[in-house]
Amino acid sequence: MRGRVRDDPASLRAGGHDGSHLVGSPRAVVFPEDADDVRALVEWARAHRVPLVPRGAGTSLDGESVPVDGGVVVDLSEWKDVEEVSADERWARVGPGVVNLALQQAARPHGLFFPPNPGSWTTSTIGGNVGTNASGPRSYRYGPTRAWVRELEVVLGNGRCLHLGTRAAKRSLGPDLLSLIVGSEGTLGIVTEVTVRLAPLPPVRRGIVVPIPEGTRLGALVGRLTRAPIEGLSAVEYVDRASAEALAQYGRPIGPGGAAWLLLEIEASDAVEAESRTAQLASVLASGGIAGPPIPYEDADDLWTRRGESSTALDRQLGSRIREDIAVPIGRMDDMLTELARIAAEERAPLFLFGHLGEGNLHPNFAVDPATPAADRIRERTVLAALVLGGTISAEHGIGRLKRPFVERELGSGAVEWLWSVKRWCDPDGILNPEKLYPPR
């Protein structure tokens, strides 16, 4: 391998943790130069039975990029080149270390954008977005990362380098092998190149924030919004009062203090159309009892950057805590919110809540040390409540190490065995990101 190898204490500390509270002790951090380097590294790891853990920016929240002790971290954060952008065919070919925001900036001069914009979009990498099937506010209209990946180059754990997908606009060719890699958290292969689809950049993109009265049934409100024929509505988000106050104390207020906030985005062809759609939106909200005046954010990206800083603001106020990611059907959201309030009260754990309301995707944060038995109990109660209501244990953050115990509860034993069969073929020696995603056998 031609790339750098680091084993100094500072590099090992940096490579031993991510956005979760988990910490590992790697034996080295390597910086491969290209796909041939990655392939050579995989062959070495197979021969010596050394675990490899792919890593981008380390923003994952469930321990996806935390190495097992003695493993080697494969740092791809320096693969930052936007290799090619096709304006006519609306795609971009990038290295896995390209930051989501940097891709947006590269696409903008072509009148295009990459729709997935997770809260960490100013720091998270495209490779990491692929690994966890990341979403973001605009997934309400555009869907998650999986919907926007066109091609991948990947080195599997068996040493094979595969090219998956096509630049053709459509293809019918059996099961979608590319989709197996998206969301696999580096457990099947190490992604070395990504080609993503791009969308036309709307001429006008307006953010809108609306104060939400106490006691509002949020699920019913979202149902009203989704049933209404509001053209150009691309995001429906929520920040509760406690989280909004934390943002204000952090110096990034969303609006005047003392309120929970509904955060929306309208796309339009011009300012006149934007005004018309904003008025239509206000009318729908008023019919649902939300009479507070909408506050426009002409720079919608600034609104989503502030929304994404909710976690940072809570880091500053609370320190390490439980940070969950669940989703339920819209029709069961109010039931889920009631259960979260019950868990918080019974466990005496202050609750801070935000999330992608339009998709039933909630991020409950409990002010509890995440490394304690109480945290384990709260996490289990939260994810199992989501399952009882017909939801999922993870909508966009992935599984990592923290949620492995609950995967079989959601998928069933037959589906888990199927997953393990895929893992065994792609990674027969079990060297890629062990102790993640797949439940213990």
CATH number of the domain within which 272 lies: 3.30.70.2190
- The answer to whether residues 74 and 53 touch, using CB atoms and an 8 Å cutoff, is yes
Residue 212 lies inside a defined structural domain of this protein = yes
The DSSP 8-state label assigned to residue 370 in this structure reads T
Q: Is 157 contained in some domain? A: yes
Residues 175 and 227 in one domain: no
Predicted local distance difference test score (pLDDT) of residue 293: 80
- CB count within 10 Å of CB 221 equals 22
- Indicate whether 406 belongs to any domain: no
- The answer on 193 and 291 residing in a single domain is no
Is 384 a member of any domain? Answer: yes
Burial of 329 (0-12, 13-18, 19+ CB in 10 A): middle
CATH code of the domain containing 186 = 3.30.465.10
Whether residue 139 is found in the same domain as residue 231? no
Q: How many domains does the chain have?
A: 3
- Whether residue 431 is contained in a domain is answered as no
Say yes or no: 221 and 91 in one domain: no
> Same domain, yes or no, for 158 and 17?
yes
> Does residue 391 sit in the same domain as residue 377?
yes
- The pTM assigned to this predicted structure is 0.95
Angle at 278 between CA 273 and CA 280, to 5 degrees: 95
Classify burial at 151, counting beta carbons within 10 Å of its beta carbon; exposed 0-12, middle 13-18, buried 19 or more.
middle
| Contact between 55 and 390 (Cβ < 8 Å) | no
The tens place of each residue's pLDDT in the chain, 441 residues long, gives: 788 999 999 999 999 999 999 999 999 999 999 999 999 999 999 999 999 999 999 999 999 999 999 999 999 999 999 999 999 999 999 999 999 999 999 999 999 999 999 999 999 999 999 999 999 999 999 999 999 999 999 999 999 999 999 999 888 998 999 999 999 999 999 999 999 999 999 999 999 999 999 889 999 999 999 898 889 999 999 999 999 999 999 999 998 888 999 999 999 999 999 999 999 999 999 988 887 788 999 899 999 999 999 999 999 999 999 999 999 999 999 999 999 999 999 999 999 999 999 999 999 999 999 999 999 999 999 999 999 999 999 999 999 999 999 999 999 999 999 999 999 999 999 999 999 999 988
What's the sign of the alpha-carbon dihedral 414, 418, 424, 430? negative
The CATH number that applies at residue 392 is 3.30.70.2740
Count of CB atoms situated within 10 Å of the CB of 232: 21
Looking at the fold, whether 11 and 96 belong to one and the same domain comes out as yes
Q: Which of 265, 286, 308 is the last residue of a domain?
A: 308
Return the closest-CA partner of residue 394 out of 206, 132, 139.
132
Name the percent of the chain in helix, strand, coil, to the closest 5. Answer: 35, 25, 40
Residues 134 and 235 in one domain: no
- Structural domain of 23: 1-201
Q: How far apart are CA 75 and CA 32, in angstroms?
A: 7
**Is 77 within a domain?**
yes
Domain boundary among 148, 170, 201: 201
Residues 75 and 119 in one domain: yes
Please state, in angstroms and as integers, the Cα–Cα distance from residue 123 to each residue in 53, 186, 252, 341, following that order.
19, 19, 18, 32
User: Are both 23 and 124 inside the same structural domain?
Assistant: yes
Q: Tell whether 118 and 259 lie within a shared domain.
A: no
